[in-house]
Structure 1
C-alpha cells in the first residue's frame, strides 16, 4: 500500500511539472504587431502619457528637510 501511494504521488508531481510549460504558452495575437505605429506625442515631441495615474504606493517625491538625498541602511 505504501509503495502504491508513493508511486501515485510521484506520478502526480511529475504530471504537474510536465504540464506547467503548457500553461506558459502564449496564444497567438489576433492582430499582428504594426511596425508603423507611432505613439501619440505632446507639443514637445515627447511621448504623451496623459491619463489616470494611481498614487497607490504613496512614494514621496521629495525628502524631508535635514535628510540626505538617498536612503541610508538605517532608514530601511
Structure 2
C-alpha cells in the first residue's frame, strides 16, 4: 500500500518571466522529492481554478466565474 496522495491548489500572482524560476526553486526545497510543484499560465486571459474561472479583462480588472469542467 502506497503513501496517501494529496493535491493542493495554490493561487499566486508572480511577475512575468519568473514563474518557471519560482517553480524550479520550490521543487528544490523538498530534498526527498515527495512534493512536486507545477504551474499553469493563463490562456487568452483565462485561468481555470477549482470551482471557478479567473478572467482578466482588457482594463486589467479580474472577474471570477463559476467553473465546471466539460465532464461535469
TM-score (structure 2 length as normaliser): 0.21
User: Of Structure 1 and Structure 2, which has the larger fraction of its residues in strand?
Assistant: 2
Instruction: Identify the structure with the greater helix proportion.
Output: 1
Kindly indicate whether structure 1 or structure 2 has the higher relative contact order, using CA contacts under 8 Å at least 6 residues apart: 2
